[in-house]
């Protein structure tokens, strides 16, 4: 069996910088037509000059592949209309991180509410710049996303013309919020469609499955699977592929992030085929995102086939999900 995907998109991708950028960028650029690039570098991308320079480094690292990096700024509540009007030409969205909640987010927002963010969110609404949010509180780790849902809903209600993307959702509570507000959307990762907390810590600790938001309960995974497999019009694929060097993952203080970029499309095809939903994969990995972002990528056709392949044990210094294991599908060609 074969499947042709037209211009697959990754709507949440970490490419890092410097040596790591050169390792991982070609792996996404090979099979995806475009990707939303996260801005949480050190220091974060907060200026147009830094953004343009980072995009140039990405283009060099992708080595001529047909790939469009869709750039984002790291949210600052000091962004005003004039700055955002100038920045709009260079960005696809702005990413908001609660302060200290995940990797390289120390410069994020403390206290997220409609009043304190009004100037920036009003300007984003008027300029039609989407807001992407890592939605977690500082509460108990299994409850952080659930506790953040009222914040999403307050922002959606108070800024009805603002496109708000709930990033890498992991709970049935976030899934249920999708249909309560017309301007709420979501990205869903590959790994959260496959694993629960039991896979991470139910036996021996699996550091290469540890991520933030942490994987949740079986009922949460089932809720995610349902909307992804049906290609719900308000969800889209975002890998949150987050590379760290092997020594940072296999250590005390394990870094949070699952590296899935090289296997994302074959494993998604295997998952959708298993549930007899292959016809919906195109919408989940491209069509929905094109509509939500009003973006038309360059044409890129990826042919997948149900032929087994073995995941490499490591890519330079980065260990992927399913390292060394056989998966049921593979990429036959990209044109």
Q: What residues are annotated to the active site?
A: 240
Beta partners for 68? Answer: 34
Would you say the C-alpha torsion 128, 36, 279, 322 has a positive or negative sign? negative
In SS3 terms, the chain reads as CEEEEECCEEEEECCCCHHHHHHHHHHHHHHCCEEEECCCCCCCCCCHHHHHHHHHHHHHHCCCCCCEEECEEECCCCCCHHHHHHHHHHCCEEEECECCCCCCCCCCECCCCCCCCHHHHHHHHHHCCCEEECCCCCCCCCCHHHHHHHHHHHHHHHCCCCCEEECCCCCHHHHHHHCCCCCEEEEECCHHHHCCHHHHHCCCCCHHHCCCCCCCCHHHHHHHHHHHHCCCCCEEECCCECCCCHHHHCCCCCCCCECCCCCHHHHHHHHHHHCCCHHHHHHHHHHHHHHHHCCCCCCCEEEEECCCEECCCCECCECCCCCCCEECCEEEEEC
């Amino acid at each position: 069996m074969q499947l042709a995907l037209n211009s697959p998109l990754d709507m949440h991708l970490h490419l890092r910088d410097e040596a790591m950028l050169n390792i991982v960028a070609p792996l996404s650029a090979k099979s995806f037509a475009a990707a939303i690039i996260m801005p949480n570098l050190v220091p974060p991308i907060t200026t147009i000059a830094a953004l343009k320079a980072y995009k140039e480094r990405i283009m060099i690292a992708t080595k001529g592949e047909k790939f469009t990096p869709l750039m984002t700024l790291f949210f600052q509540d000091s962004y005003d209309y004039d700055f955002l009007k100038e920045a709009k030409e260079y960005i696809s969205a702005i990413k908001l991180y609660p302060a200290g909640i995940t990797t390289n987010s120390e410069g994020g927002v403390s206290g997220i509410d409609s009043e304190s963010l009004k100037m920036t969110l009003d300007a984003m609404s008027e300029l039609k710049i989407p807001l992407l949010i890592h939605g977690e509180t500082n509460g108990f780790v299994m409850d952080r996303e659930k506790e953040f849902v009222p914040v999403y809903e307050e922002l959606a209600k108070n800024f009805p013309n603002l496109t708000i993307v709930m990033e890498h959702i992991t709970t049935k509570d976030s899934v249920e919020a999708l249909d309560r507000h017309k301007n709420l959307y979501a990205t869903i990762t590959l790994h959260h469609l496959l694993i629960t907390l039991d896979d991470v810590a139910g036996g021996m600790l699996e550091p290469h499955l540890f991520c933030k938001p942490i994987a949740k309960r079986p009922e949460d995974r089932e809720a995610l699977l349902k909307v992804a497999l049906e290609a719900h019009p308000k969800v889209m694929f975002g890998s949150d592929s987050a590379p760290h060097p092997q020594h940072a993952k296999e250590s005390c203080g394990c870094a949070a992030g699952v590296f899935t970029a090289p296997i994302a499309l074959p494993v998604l095809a295997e998952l959708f085929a298993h549930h007899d939903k292959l016809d919906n994969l195109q919408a989940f990995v491209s069509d929905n995102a094109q509509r939500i972002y009003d973006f038309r990528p360059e044409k890129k056709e990826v042919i997948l086939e149900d032929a087994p392949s073995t995941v490499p044990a490591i890519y330079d210094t980065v260990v992927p999900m399913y390292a060394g294991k056989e998966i049921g599908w593979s990429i036959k060609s990209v044109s």
